[in-house]
């Protein structure tokens, strides 16, 4: 299904903040330069519509936090950089791909923080709502894996000894490999006439 930007936050082309939604408002993504990633606010976007209580049986979420250690080095913070409109468009495209894989999904939310993210703080929020828990959980796993592979966000670790290092995402070396393998397995199951739900190996 086609994804169309419904809104961009003030600053539009700024590298600081950008929000986009699919044309039917099911998918929502954000790149934000806020000092804190407000996961509760993004979680609230997964609430059921007042006129349809009980519409869904599952909400699955993921919050990615900064670890304080890397191979024995004390990590003070991560520094993220992105061109917000470009990154948001890629995130929205990935959400729409998830909806094609799991048509039962009712809402998807993804938000990524840029700037300095201290250890213990959240840099990314992912959420999915569906009538079925399996689809919601699979979609969240797919979104975080694929966004790590494909969204143009750069990350630098800062250590307590004053040094720092740009981090390469190893998933980018073989983008989509794990999910492509899972899709092939799902196709085999489908040919056998069994119920299929995409699984990550």
Question: How many whole angstroms separate alpha carbon 201 and alpha carbon 188?
Answer: 15
Whether pLDDT at 201 is above 90: no
Lowest mean pLDDT among 18-22, 141-145, 190-194: 190-194
What is the CATH topology of the domain spanning 18-191?
Aldehyde Oxidoreductase; domain 3 (3.90.1170)
Q: What is the mean pLDDT of the chain?
A: 82
Q: In what order do the strands lie in the sheet with 18-21?
A: 18-21, 27-32, 107-113, 122-130, 58-65
As a dihedral over the C-alpha atoms of residue 143, residue 58, residue 46, residue 56, rounded to 10 degrees, the angle is 120
Q: Are strands 164-167 and 153-159 parallel, antiparallel or unpaired?
A: antiparallel
Take residue 201 and report the two structure tokens written for it.
């190996």
Instruction: State pLDDT tens for residues 111-164.
Output: 999 999 999 999 999 999 999 999 999 999 999 999 999 999 999 999 999 999
**Cα separation values, 72 from 65, 67, 82, 123, Å:** 18, 12, 28, 22
Residues across the chain: 201
Report pTM.
Answer: 0.78
For residue 112, the model assigns a pLDDT of 98
Query: Considering the chain, what percentage of its residues have pLDDT values greater than 70?
Result: 75
Question: How many whole angstroms separate alpha carbon 18 and alpha carbon 80?
Answer: 15
Confidence bin at 52 (pLDDT 50/70/90): confident
């Amino acid at each position: 299904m086609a994804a169309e930007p419904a809104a961009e936050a003030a600053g539009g082309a700024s590298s600081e903040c950008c929000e986009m939604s699919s044309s039917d408002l099911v998918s929502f993504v954000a790149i934000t330069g806020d000092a804190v990633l407000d996961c509760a606010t993004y979680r609230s976007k997964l609430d059921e519509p007042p006129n349809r209580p009980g519409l869904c049986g599952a909400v699955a979420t993921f919050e990615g936090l900064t670890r304080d250690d890397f191979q024995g080095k004390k990590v003070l913070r991560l520094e993220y950089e992105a061109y917000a409109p470009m990154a948001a468009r890629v995130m929205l495209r990935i959400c729409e791909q998830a909806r094609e894989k799991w048509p039962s999904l009712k809402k998807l939310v993804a938000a990524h923080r840029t700037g300095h993210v201290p250890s213990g703080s959240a840099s990314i929020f992912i959420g999915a709502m569906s009538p079925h828990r399996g689809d919601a959980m699979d979609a969240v796993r797919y979104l975080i894996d694929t966004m790590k592979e494909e969204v143009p966000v750069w990350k630098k670790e800062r250590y307590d000894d004053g040094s720092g290092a740009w981090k390469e995402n190893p998933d980018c070396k073989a983008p989509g490999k794990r999910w492509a393998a899972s899709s092939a397995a799902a196709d085999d199951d489908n040919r056998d006439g069994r119920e299929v739900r995409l699984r990550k190996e």
